[in-house]
Amino acid sequence: MNTNMNLASQLGSFTVFGFTKSPQNLHEWSGRLGITPRIIDFGDWGHFFFYTSCGDAEETEEAIALKLGFVRSPAGAPLSTQQLVNQKILSPQTINHRALRGNALVACLGKAEASFSVYQTLLSAYQLHYTVSGEEILCSDSLRCLVAALGHVELNEDLIPWHFTLMYMPGRLTLLRNVKRLYPGELLQWKEGKLDIHIAQDLRFVDDGPRFDRADDRTTDIVHERLRAVLGAYMDDVEKSGQGGLGNFLSGGIDSSLLQFLINERSSQTPRSFSYAPKAPSFEFEIEYARQASDVFGTEHTFVEIAPQDFPELLIKATDILAQPVLTDPELSKLGLAKDLAENV
């Protein structure tokens, strides 16, 4: 039995890439993950390596590009990785963050020169983790994958109080020594062993952008149209991906209810919605909110029940998947929901 191949299947969908001068490192990293990466050979200088089991990847004569998540243009049109490359939004040297929107992590590795760039949008659903040793760098969207590839990591004990008191890690730090994370809105650029990371986009409004100082009908209409355009682009992207139907995590709160309203505007089919339902008296009102919202919006709703005895196993599983302690309690219920959907939907 190939235990490394079993490890690759246990890791699920992940992406890993980077640069090394050591064929031994490349062999060990690939062997531990049970993968056969795409290798770009720069001779004595070193090697780029790239592997992904998810996302939208595109290879040209000059580069390998990747999009994890959803990307749209400022005008609202969905953008594929091929379009991002053809429009020169992605390149190994830099990424034009002003030309894209969405919840994605995008990367581009050079084939003609040893350089690559990575950008994580402000709302990215993907988190890049990386470790640097001299002129070498190893990156992944999965901390668990990074830990498995390295074979040995050390706990940063100084940060344990941060976890238990603030449930948060400061800056780019993680609970693992020498393993860092890219911040939302940051652009990572690596060239010939030199690493540069800086904030490319923050939450400040651009000077020439629209400003609304009162909630009148015009403001409401503009916000409504913007939300419809963004959600519509997401829905189009889901349909084109062919990865299954669309469902909404409908808890009955304001955010999920607004999303369901917008989904119903665009969909001619009976919408599907989901929520988790822990068997606890303190959560009964939350279940009732979800039930009422489903009735109002006419969704085919699925409640995934989670019993108290399920939580220890979910805690162990979540910690294993994340390769770090769980930060918030709802993550366990979300894992239970995801597990049920993967098995039954």
Return mean pLDDT, the chain.
90
Choose the weakest-confidence range: 32-41, 85-94, 333-342. 333-342
Distance between CA atoms of residues 307 and 248, nearest Å = 23
Tell me whether strands 272-278 and 247-249 are parallel, antiparallel or unpaired: parallel
What pLDDT score was predicted for residue 154?
93
Closest CA to 102 of 87, 85, 121, 119: 121
Domain ranges (residues) in the chain: 3-199, 245-344
Instruction: Say whether pLDDT at 149 is over 90.
Output: yes
- If pLDDT is split at 50, 70 and 90, which confidence band does 220 have? confident
Residue bearing the bigger pLDDT, 159 or 118: 118
What pLDDT score was predicted for residue 209?
63
Instruction: Say whether pLDDT at 30 is over 80.
Output: yes
- Average pLDDT, integer, range 210-230: 83
Question: Cβ–Cβ contacts within 10 Å for residue 91, how many?
Answer: 18
Residue 322: helix, strand or coil by DSSP?
helix
Render 134-188 in DSSP notation, one character per residue.
TTEEEEES-HHHHHHHHS---B-GGGHHHHHHHS---TTB-SBTT-EEPPTTEEE
Residues 6+ apart with CB under 8 A from 312: none
Q: Classify residue 312 as exposed, middle or buried by CB count within 10 Å of its CB (0-12, 13-18, 19+).
A: exposed
Instruction: Say whether pLDDT at 176 is over 90.
Output: yes
Asked if 168 contacts 189 with a C-beta cutoff of 8 angstroms, the reply is: no
- If pLDDT is split at 50, 70 and 90, which confidence band does 3 have? very low
Percent of the chain with pLDDT over 90: 65
Domains 3-199 and 245-344 share a fold: no
Instruction: Say whether pLDDT at 294 is over 90.
Output: yes
Per residue in 230-259, pLDDT tens?
A: 888 888 888 777 766 789 999 999 999 999
Fold of 3-199: Glutamine Phosphoribosylpyrophosphate, subunit 1, domain 1 (3.60.20)
- Average pLDDT, integer, range 287-311: 95
Distance between CA atoms of residues 251 and 278, nearest Å = 13
Q: How far apart are the first and last CA of the chain?
A: 31
The most distant pair of C-alpha atoms in the chain lies apart, rounded to whole Å, by 66
- Average pLDDT, integer, range 150-164: 89
CA dihedral 220, 221, 223, 227 (to 10 degrees): 130
Instruction: Say whether pLDDT at 2 is over 50.
Output: no
Instruction: Classify domain 245-344 at the CATH superfamily level.
Output: HUPs (3.40.50.620)
What pLDDT score was predicted for residue 206?
64
Residues 6+ apart with CB under 8 A from 245: 272
Distance between CA atoms of residues 51 and 69, nearest Å = 16
- If pLDDT is split at 50, 70 and 90, which confidence band does 207 have? low
Instruction: Say whether pLDDT at 219 is over 90.
Output: no
- If pLDDT is split at 50, 70 and 90, which confidence band does 1 have? very low
What pLDDT score was predicted for residue 267?
84
Residues 6+ apart with CB under 8 A from 120: 105, 126, 127, 128, 182, 183, 184, 185, 186
- Give Cα 209 distance to the centre of its chain: 27
**Whole-prediction pTM:** 0.89
Per residue in 78-112, pLDDT tens?
A: 899 999 999 999 999 999 999 999 999 999 999 99
**Which neighbouring-strand residues pair with 280?**
none
- Average pLDDT, integer, range 291-311: 95
